[in-house]
Amino acid sequence: MTSHVRHLTFDSHDAYRQGTFWAEVLGGSIADDDFPGDPEALVTAEGITLLFVTVPDAKTVKNRLHVDLQPQDRTRDEEVERIIALGAKQVDDQRRPNGRGWVVLADPEGNEFCVECGEAERAALIAAES
């Protein structure tokens, strides 16, 4: 018998705040029994479940694992703007002149993640290169 990934777990200083941010980013929701001040917050969104757990230690180095986001109904650049408005900060810009590439953002507690081109945007880039 094999295992499956139940959820990805993130250490955080404020699990509920992190959960709220990621629920907004992913269009998901926080579990009904999670509230501000709770030691953990479970976020469920289409295709993924994230668990945020409050820990005392601070993030000190770059993530060894990160999330790559692909927008479903907007461009990469529109998604970057939306997520920054939710409280993320831009860390790095790997966008290329030909439209490819990604943007590295950090969530409110500094966890890095990337925003790539959406499927339609990627298809248009491939067609333009043909």
| pTM of structure | 0.91
pLDDT band at 119 (very low <50, low <70, confident <90, very high): confident
Both tokens of 35, joined, read 């509230």
∠ at Cα 36 (34, 42), nearest 5°? 35
Distance CA(66)–CA(128), nearest Å, equals 30
Give all domains of the chain, ordered by start, each with its CATH number: 1-58 (3.10.180.10), 62-130 (3.30.720.110)
The overall average pLDDT reported for the chain is 94
Q: Give per-residue pLDDT as tens, 28-72.
A: 999 999 999 999 999 999 999 999 999 999 888 888 899 999 999
Decide if 53 contacts 83 (C-beta within 8 A).
no
